[in-house]
């Protein structure tokens, strides 16, 4: 996680995960492996095939740009797990519709650094991160990650819906 700079329009001076928008090039970028069947199936509930793949590519690209950590070049996407989604309330001045992915650390290479968009980059222990003053969506995603980490592989495989933070509450998609 890293701190967004004071000059950012959205969530300045807040500790966040790396992320960003899907670029047009993400929709057709080469990949070493596609998304896992489980992740692709979950994404298809609200994204067509091209967008689902683009979301995985964007996650890999943003991870590298903002942290210096890589899923490979071209990226290996089959380790990405679709954790949850967050959609800002309609009354928010800045809107987003974000998908949150997680990946096992053994699937990532590189040195923590990035392009400077996030400051003070580092790995946080779950308890340490949750003890901080986090923005609500960040806290809620960490709570979802804690639940996901507690699941067995069989429970993850049996999960048929993905949690969506919408209108300040959880819904299943």
Does 96 score more than 90 pLDDT? no
Mean pLDDT, rounded, for 121-137: 94
3-state secondary structure (DSSP) of residue 6: coil
One-character DSSP codes across 102-163: E--GGG-EE-S--SSSEES-----HHHHHTS---HHHHHHHHHHHHHHHS-HHHHHH----E
Can you give the pLDDT at residue 75?
A: 98
The answer to whether residues 119 and 3 touch, using CB atoms and an 8 Å cutoff, is yes
Lowest mean per-residue pLDDT among 6-10, 50-54, 156-160: 6-10
Does 15 score more than 90 pLDDT? yes
Of the pLDDT bands very low, low, confident and very high (cuts 50, 70, 90), residue 167 is confident
pTM of the predicted structure, to 2 decimals: 0.94
Does 88 score more than 90 pLDDT? no
Mean pLDDT, rounded, for 19-48: 96
3-state secondary structure (DSSP) of residue 28: coil
- The average confidence (pLDDT) of the chain is 94
Of the pLDDT bands very low, low, confident and very high (cuts 50, 70, 90), residue 28 is very high
């Amino acid at each position: 996680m890293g701190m967004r700079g004071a000059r950012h329009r959205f969530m300045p001076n807040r500790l966040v995960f790396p992320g960003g928008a899907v670029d047009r090039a993400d929709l057709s970028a080469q990949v070493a492996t596609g998304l896992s069947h489980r992740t692709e199936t979950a994404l298809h509930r609200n994204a067509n095939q091209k967008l689902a793949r683009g979301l995985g590519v964007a996650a890999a690209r943003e991870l590298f740009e903002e942290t210096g950590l890589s899923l490979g070049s071209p990226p290996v996407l089959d380790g990405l797990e679709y954790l949850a989604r967050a959609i800002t309330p309609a009354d928010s001045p800045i809107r987003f519709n974000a998908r949150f992915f997680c990946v096992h650390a053994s699937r990532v290479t590189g040195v923590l650094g990035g392009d400077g968009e996030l400051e003070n980059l580092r790995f946080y222990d779950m308890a340490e991160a949750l003890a901080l003053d986090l923005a609500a969506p960040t806290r809620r995603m960490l709570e979802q990650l804690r639940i996901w980490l507690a699941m067995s592989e069989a429970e993850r495989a049996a999960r048929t819906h993905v949690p969506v933070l919408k209108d300040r509450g959880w819904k299943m998609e």
